[in-house]
A and B are shown apart, each in its own frame.
With several copies, the nearest count.
Chain A
Amino acid sequence: MFRISGSPINPEALKTQLAAAGAGACVTFEGWVRDHNEGKRVRRLEYEAFVSMAEKEGACIVAGAREKFGLDHALCIHRVGTLEIGQIAVWVGASAPHRDEAFAACRYIIDEVKHRVPIWKKEHYIDGDSGWVHCEHCAQPGRHHAAETTPGESTAAPRIKAAP
């Protein structure tokens, strides 16, 4: 199951949905809003989603992971809206009989979500600047790219100067 959420993510409530008597391992990933990126100090993030497509693509990724890794359960929730430092932007959880599969599936889901699901984030910096975070590779269907934007890639991102 994959869902876009406009309200704060509640990890404990989500994790109870992963319970299964046959599951021996549960791995979760949380993406937190960090106070810096590529050397710039971040004040907050804004997430925007093309909700119908995001939920369709996300559901496909999660169902694919369940099948591929033989999971008991898997879930992913992604926030939209304005998030402050320390808030949870995305939560992924996977339960499986053994930990190999739970780790691999959790990693697979967050990687695929970051690459394929139509969600965008805009960083607002302490200095008043802001910018959409992306890398050009992401736009190529089926192509994988580095886990995080790199300085070289980020120069392609349009920077919108905030009003003084």
Chain B
Amino acid sequence: MRKSSNVSTETRNIHLGYYAVLREQRGLSEERLATAAATPRALYEELRARHGFRLGVPQLRVVVNDEFGSWDTPLQEGDHVVFIPPVAGG
């Protein structure tokens, strides 16, 4: 198990997918990103600061590798991450 002091300085390659309002605000549907963010929460805050996303973490869910995940589970190299804006099917 990695120590969190190490985790925060590692860099991981993350595959990001964007949908709906996040896709529009980001201006693309997917990207690969090298990030020092250790968790989905840190990653989203990094992206939010960079791209000005208006939605906050409480309004989103996160999907990691096609499973709904928790905001604080450590990210792994190569993870596929999607932040899910509030849905409105039907």
Contact = CB atoms under 8 A, between A and B. Distances in A.
Instruction: Tell me if chains A and B make direct contact, with any CB pair below 8 A.
Output: yes
Interface of A: 31, 47-50, 52-53, 56, 78, 89-90, 99, 110, 113-122, 132-141, 149, 156-158, 160
Interface of B: 17, 19-21, 23-25, 54-55, 58-61, 63, 66, 68, 82, 84-90
Given A114-B87, A114-B88, 8 more contacts: A48-B19, A48-B20, A50-B63, A117-B87, A132-B20, A132-B85, A135-B88, A139-B85
Contacts of A120: 19-21, 85, 87-89
Nearest to A131: B21
A119 B87 contact: yes
Contacts of A118: 19, 63, 84, 87
A82 to B, nearest CB: 15
22 contacts: A48-B19, A53-B84, A89-B89, A90-B90, A117-B89, A119-B90, A120-B20, A120-B21, A121-B88, A132-B85, A134-B85, A134-B87, A134-B88, A135-B88, A136-B59, A138-B86, A139-B55, A139-B58, A139-B60, A139-B84, A158-B25, A160-B24
